[in-house]
Structure formats: C-alpha cells, structure tokens
Chain A
C-alpha cells in the first residue's frame, strides 16, 4: 500500500518556467490537498479538492492551478515559476471529512528551487 506518492522529489526551475507536481493516492480518499512549507514555518494550504471534479482555493493559491479528473490524482501546476515559490510542497489526502475527522496523510514532499 503506497499511500500518497509525490513526484518528483526534487526540482530546479528557472524563473518563468512552468511545471506540474504530481500527487497520487491509492487509499480511495475523497479529500486531497496541497500545502507549501517554508523554513521555520508550518504548512500553508494552497488548493484542495473534496472529490473528482471539485477544487477550491486555500490560503495561498496565487500562481498555482489544480485539477481533479480522477479520485486518485491531484496535480499542482506552477504556471510561471517565481523565486518566491521556492519551497517544499506536500500533498495530502483523507477520507471525506463528514464523520468529524479529517486525518490527512501526507506524501514525502517535493523540494522545489526557482532560480
């Protein structure tokens, strides 16, 4: 059981380049989300999805796009990379929060540097 899988693990981009961070989960979770983590800080929510075809913005959505065409996959797109997007990105998933719980399971992260 792989859980939440993120690819790539590391990426270096030049300013203005675009790329897609991949996230896949095999737990049949409805809820998926993307966070960024900057040094010495907690995780900040970028975008989230409560099911296939449904996405919404989190705390820091600017510069990022998401889509959810399947339950398993939730890619994060950087449209035109900026140095301010240098960060560690985490994808997470959970059962749909309708039972008073929202235990999110995290991937190992993608470390992105924008030069």
Chain B
C-alpha cells in the first residue's frame, strides 16, 4: 500500500515570496490534515479536511496561509507572503473518517525562509 506522498521535500525561499506544497493521501482516506512542525516542537495542526470540506482550520493563519482539497483527494497548502517564522517542516497526514487518531504521515516538506 502506497503511503502519503508529499512534494517538494525541501524548499528555500526569501521572505515575502510565495510557496506551495502538495500532498497525495492514502487511497480511500477521506480525512486529510496539514501540520506545521517547528524544530524542537511537536506537530501543530493547521487544517483538517474531510473529503472536500474543511472540518477545522482554527489554527491556520488565514492572512497568509491557504489550503484546498479539490475532488476530495490531493491537497495543496500555500503560503503568501512567507515570513521568517514560517521556517518549519510541513507535514501532511491522512486517516479514515472513523479512525481519526490513527493518522498516516508523509515525509514532510522542509521549508527554509531567508
């Protein structure tokens, strides 16, 4: 069974530039999550989708972050404009609807903002 795919694996941008991350969840997983993990901390949930709809985006900085999940499969997370404090690993995870605590994570995208 294929795992959660993410790209790119690494990205370096200057502040005020924009960046986008892509995620392809495990087939059949209706729920998709985006997390931000700053060095030395645990992952922090940014947004949760169930199929096409947003379940929770309370911790998403909506002035600069946006996410979408078209057709209930792939998802993209965008940052525009980026700030230095956005340097982190961005993790995508997916799960079955009835097993929200058993999430499968991708390898993450390491973003460095200079």
Do the two chains belong together in a single complex?
no
Q: Which residues of A contact B (CB under 8 A)?
A: none
Q: Which residues of B contact A (CB under 8 A)?
A: none
